[in-house]
Structure 1
Amino acid sequence: MSDPAGSSPLSTPAPVPSSGAGRALPLIPLVPTASAPATDAGATFYEQIGGRPTFEKLVRTFYSGVAADPVLVAMYPEEDLEGAIQRLTGFLEQYWGGPTTYSQERGHPRLRMRHNPFKVNPDARDRWLTHMRAAVDSLQLAPLQDATLWDYLERAAHAMVNTFEE
């Protein structure tokens, strides 16, 4: 059953400003789109934080932690994590307004479906978050950029949990 037009929180107009101007405030997407919203300066978040070199550093730092983590590394069928590094880098670049290479090569991200074959329990999630937090910290982003990136990564990690079995 589809939602009636306008019933989605993403399509609900913003309240009219109290100044009486009579104009609705612009809609702001709650999630970045394939063409992530640009800032007033015209730069996407991807560009603001340094583009590909920043995302490569983030993901390579993250996977150096994963490689040393017996719970997480066991989820990867490859002895070499390079394929996983390239996939996560491409996904994050696209999500934050960079190149759309990920979708061109792999189609829709379908994160839950792609992670479903693996036992992602709260322990695995917490380990993932520990390594990702260290990776985000290594970037030394401005506080708002750090918080923006971390908010997404933390929500995504919680959404990937698919079992509570140990």
Structure 2
Amino acid sequence: MSTFYDEIGGMETIAAIVDRFYAGVADDEVLRPMYPEEDLGPAAERFTLFLAQYWGGPGTYSETRGHPRLRMRHAPFPVDPNAAVHWLKHFRDGLDSVDLTPEQDAQFWDYVTHAAQFMVNTPES
């Protein structure tokens, strides 16, 4: 049975989305300070593996990092509604950089918009 991961082009497509996303994060005054590592490469790799697993690809993320526990992993960082808007802007750029059908794009966008709201842990400052 084909998964959404397979349908959108697998790891190559997800990596392209994430690469474009982090290209935006690298220069973002709101988001960049949330990444303590000087090199965003490890964060991009983790995010790529997470999204691949979420959409039905290999389980490498859980094999190497355990359960995603997204809110717990992001708890040290103040994620306010403005940060969610910035995050979504860069993710939108990532989705726009690949060739998804309108239905695939809508499914991916629906997930990330809900995820961005879920990650907010700090009221608007």
Question: How does the TM-score come out when normalised to structure 2?
Answer: 0.98
Q: Which runs of 4+ in 1 moved over 3 A?
A: none
Which is higher, the Rg of structure 1 or of structure 2?
A: 1
Say whether the 8 Å CA contact 2:25–2:32 is kept in structure 1. yes
Question: For structure 2, which runs of at least 5 residues remain unmatched after alignment?
Answer: none
Sequence identity percentage: 58
Task: State the match for 2:94 in structure 1.
Answer: 135
Question: For structure 1, which runs of at least 5 residues remain unmatched after alignment?
Answer: 1-41
Q: How many Å separate the matches in 1 of 2:99 and 2:27?
A: 23
| Number of aligned positions between the proteins | 125
Task: State the match for 1:83 in structure 2.
Answer: 42
Q: How many Å separate the matches in 1 of 2:28 and 2:105?
A: 24
Task: State the match for 1:97 in structure 2.
Answer: 56
2:49 matched to 1:121? no
Q: 3-state SS of the aligned residue for 2:31?
A: helix
Q: Structure 2 residue aligned with 1:61, among 17, 20, 29?
A: 20
CA positional deviation for 1:165: 4.1
Q: CA RMSD in A?
A: 0.7
CA positional deviation for 1:139: 1.0
Higher RCO, 1 or 2 (CA under 8 Å, sep at least 6)?
Answer: 2
Matches within 5 A, 1:1-166: 42-166=1-125
Q: 3-state SS of the aligned residue for 2:53?
A: helix
Task: State the match for 1:6 in structure 2.
Answer: none
- After superposition, give the CA deviation of every residue in 1:138-166 in whole Å (9 maximum; x if it has no partner): 11310100000110011000000001142
Say whether the 8 Å CA contact 2:82–2:124 is kept in structure 1. no
Q: How many Å separate the matches in 1 of 2:12 and 2:64?
A: 20
Question: How does the TM-score come out when normalised to structure 1?
Answer: 0.74
